[in-house]
């Protein structure tokens, strides 16, 4: 029996699940679900899909793990912290969890090219039957509100931060996110300049259209979209327009297909639609991949950015997924859709690894 193909998943909210959902990700998914039976404080209780044992089973050996904490002003109805300093402290607690998982031998921080190459070699050896190795993670910040000023950005970089999405949902300190409007302004431009100086990757995910285009005008470093789909396939401003996708392709970006149901198909009604009654499967993410490939003329700009357990679970995940290990269904599905072996390798890991090789070769 062949080993499952190596997977890079460019968006997992691991620390949020550990710290805010109180999930011990060292335990199997089914045990986490059992422990959550009867809880109603989160809509996805008992429906989680991601834990370290399932990541290992699915050969998800490298991921982008997030820090996330929103600042909200008095007139912002979204949930979040009432000061940037509180948001910073929240991300520091999340960072402490990552470090604790490193101490426990579950995770290893990947911050530069030699560490990446060493991890890939160690993981390959482990898959050959030798000692189990930690899962690699690259630290990313989803929404930059917790960066109080540029001194904090330098501290975050020293702590291992290697990618930033300037905005999340709604208005942000440094950019405007999903469902908001407006540009990045002087603070956003200052952030992008310092990110460029530090060689921090810009994650274009969640930027509203105005902020996206202003960011593209002012940032000259490496850009990716960790978890985004196509507006032409699922019509919502959360997804990228064809014009935006072409811009990302021109900059050598990779776009990670996200598996949150409402970002995959039209007509999803939260709280009413189900993956079963909408007949939602992983095939739908390949529709998004196909669209990007047609715009690019190749398969070098598509990959996985699942966002599984990103404040949703089985109730909002393709019906043919039970845990993250089921990402291993993608290769056969891609092959049936006419993707070559090289294309499949690109989707599962090569495109992210190529991107990092280029970004970190400086």
CATH number at residue 300: 3.20.20.140
Q: How many domains does the chain have?
A: 1
Q: Is the predicted pLDDT of residue 360 greater than 90, yes or no?
A: yes
Residue 319 belongs to a domain: yes
Select the more confidently predicted residue: 61 or 129. 61
Domain range for 157: 9-359
Residue 3 belongs to a domain: no
- State residue 27 phi and psi, 5-degree precision: -90, 150
**Closest Cα to residue 356, out of 180, 132, 115, 13?**
115
Structural contact between residues 308 and 261, judged by C-beta atoms closer than 8 angstroms: no
User: Average pLDDT, stretch 5-19?
Assistant: 98
| This prediction's pTM | 0.97
Residue 1 belongs to a domain: no
User: Average pLDDT, stretch 216-220?
Assistant: 98
**Cβ neighbours for 100, distance < 8 A, ≥ 6 positions apart:** none
Question: What's the pLDDT tens digit per position in 199-215?
Answer: 999 999 999 999 999 99
Residue 140 belongs to a domain: yes
Structural contact between residues 203 and 225, judged by C-beta atoms closer than 8 angstroms: yes
Q: Alpha-carbon distance 10 to 129, whole Å? A: 26
Q: Specify the pLDDT at position 131.
A: 64
Q: Specify the pLDDT at position 362.
A: 73
Q: Alpha-carbon distance 173 to 168, whole Å? A: 10
% of the chain with per-residue pLDDT over 90: 96
Burial of residue 327, with CB atoms counted within 10 A of its CB: 0-12 exposed, 13-18 middle, 19 or more buried: buried
Q: Is the predicted pLDDT of residue 31 greater than 90, yes or no?
A: yes
Q: Is the predicted pLDDT of residue 1 greater than 60, yes or no?
A: no
Select the more confidently predicted residue: 128 or 87. 87
Residue 2 belongs to a domain: no
Residue 263 belongs to a domain: yes
Structural contact between residues 225 and 240, judged by C-beta atoms closer than 8 angstroms: yes
Q: Is the predicted pLDDT of residue 97 greater than 90, yes or no?
A: yes
Structural contact between residues 81 and 71, judged by C-beta atoms closer than 8 angstroms: yes
- Give the number of other CB atoms < 10 A from CB of residue 283: 16
Q: Which two tokens stand for residue 328?
A: 């291993």
Structural contact between residues 84 and 172, judged by C-beta atoms closer than 8 angstroms: no
3-state secondary structure of 141: strand
Residue 159 belongs to a domain: yes
User: Average pLDDT, stretch 96-123?
Assistant: 97
Residue 355 belongs to a domain: yes
16-to-22, 45, 66, 142, 228 alpha-carbon distances in Å: 8, 14, 8, 11, 19
Name the packing angle between helices 242-250 and 209-218 (round to 10°): 20
Give the angle 305-301-311 at the CA atoms, nearest 5°: 15
Question: What's the pLDDT tens digit per position in 34-51?
Answer: 999 999 999 999 999 999
3-state secondary structure of 165: strand
* Confidence tier at 129 by pLDDT (50, 70, 90): low
Compute the mean pLDDT over every residue in the chain, rounded to the nearest whole number: 96
Question: What's the pLDDT tens digit per position in 148-164?
Answer: 999 999 999 999 999 99
């Amino acid at each position: 029996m062949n080993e499952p193909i190596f997977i890079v998943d460019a968006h997992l909210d691991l620390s949020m699940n550990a710290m805010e959902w109180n999930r011990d990700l060292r335990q199997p998914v089914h045990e986490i679900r059992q422990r959550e039976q009867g809880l109603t404080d989160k809509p996805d209780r008992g429906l989680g899909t991601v834990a370290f044992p399932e990541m290992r089973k699915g050969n998800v050996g490298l991921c982008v793990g997030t820090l996330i904490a929103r600042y909200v002003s008095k007139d912002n109805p979204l949930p979040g912290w009432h000061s940037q300093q509180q948001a910073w402290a929240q991300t520091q607690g999340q960072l402490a969890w990552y470090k604790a998982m490193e101490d426990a031998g579950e995770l290893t921080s990947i911050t530069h090219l030699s560490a990446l190459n060493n991890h890939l070699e160690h993981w390959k050896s482990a898959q050959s039957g030798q000692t189990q190795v930690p899962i690699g993670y690259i630290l990313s910040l989803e929404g930059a509100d917790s960066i109080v000023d540029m001194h904090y950005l330098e501290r975050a970089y020293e702590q291992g931060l290697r990618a930033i999405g300037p905005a999340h949902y709604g208005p942000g300190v440094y950019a405007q996110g999903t469902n908001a409007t407006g540009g990045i302004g002087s603070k956003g431009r200052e952030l992008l300049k310092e990110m460029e100086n530090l060689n921090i990757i810009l994650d274009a995910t969640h930027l509203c259209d105005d902020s996206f285009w202003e960011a593209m005008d002012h940032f000259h470093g490496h850009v990716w979209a960790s978890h985004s789909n196509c507006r032409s396939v699922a019509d919502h401003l959360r997804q990228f327009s064809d014009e935006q996708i072409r811009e990302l392709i021109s900059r050598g970006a990779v776009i990670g297909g996200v598996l949150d149901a409402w970002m995959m198909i039209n007509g999803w009604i939260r709280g009413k639609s189900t993956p079963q009654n909408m007949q939602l499967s992983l095939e739908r993410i390949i529709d998004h991949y196909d669209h990007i490939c047609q715009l690019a003329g190749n398969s070098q700009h598509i990959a996985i950015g699942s966002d599984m357990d990103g404040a949703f679970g089985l109730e909002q995940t393709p019906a043919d997924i039970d845990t993250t290990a089921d990402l291993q269904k993608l290769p056969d599905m891609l092959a049936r859709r006419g993707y070559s072996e090289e294309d499949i390798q690109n989707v599962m890991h090569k495109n992210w690894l190529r991107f990092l090789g280029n970004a970190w070769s400086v």
